Each structure stands twice: as C-alpha cells, then as structure tokens.
Amino acid sequence: MQTVTSFRASAVEPELINAIAAEYLALERTRTYRRLFVTRFGLLAFTLAIVGFGLHWLPTAGAWAAVGLCSVAPAWAWVAELRHDRRLARSLELTAGPGVSSRRGRKKVIKSS
C-alpha cells in the first residue's frame, strides 16, 4: 500500500514535518536492513541446510537449530519495519486537517510485452 500526502508548509508545524521526515528515513533504513538480512541469512540457512541435511556433516538437531536461528534476524528486522511503518502512519494522521490531502491506494504495476 502506498500513501501520498501533500500539505502546505503553513498548515503543519515545522517540528511535525521534521518528525515525519525522520520517521520516513528510519522506515527506509529498516527496509534496507530487512532486505539485506533476508538475502544474507537466507543464503546462510540454505548453506547450513545443505551441509546439515544433504551432506550429513551436522547432527539433525544441530542443522534444524542452525537453520532456525538464521530466521531470527530477518524476523526482528520485519517487526522493526512494521513498528516504524505504524509510527509513520500515526504521524501522517496527525497532519490531517485543513490544507492537507492524503491518498492511499494500491501501487499500479504496468507490464509491457
């Protein structure tokens, strides 16, 4: 879901604009870390699964534990991303007032052949 918000600078306090910008940047930073964690820990979990289950170099319980522990960091980053997203949504709701327009909608994807 994508949200587009526009407002006049005189309609919103500068501190609120600064807070919204800071929360948006924190959300983008968290998304970047989540993507990196999913990619890197996913590859690590795949490697550990091959080593543990495929080549039998690890005991079964150890392989399951290693693969399970690789999901902790991406899950933590996902929870942090949801928290930042909700905080940004609350800040955007505070800006609702005269001179402020907000539009939520689905992101349109156009495929070309």
Q: Are 20 and 27 in contact (CB under 8 A)?
A: no
Chain center to CA of 7: 25
Q: Are 97 and 11 in contact (CB under 8 A)?
A: yes
Instruction: Kindly state the tokens that stand for 10.
Output: 């005189």
Task: Give the tens place of pLDDT for each residue, 51-95.
Answer: 999 999 999 999 999 999 999 999 999 999 999 999 999 988 887
Residue closest to 48 by CA, chosen among 75, 68, 77: 68
d(CA 111, CA 89): 30
Q: Domain-by-domain residue ranges, the chain? A: 2-105
Q: What is the pLDDT of residue 97?
A: 64
Q: What is the pLDDT of residue 107?
A: 55
Torsions phi, psi for 57 (to 5 deg): -85, -15
With a pLDDT cut of 90, the percent of the chain lying above it is: 61
Q: What is the pTM of this model?
A: 0.76
Q: What is the pLDDT of residue 102?
A: 57
pLDDT > 80? residue 16: yes
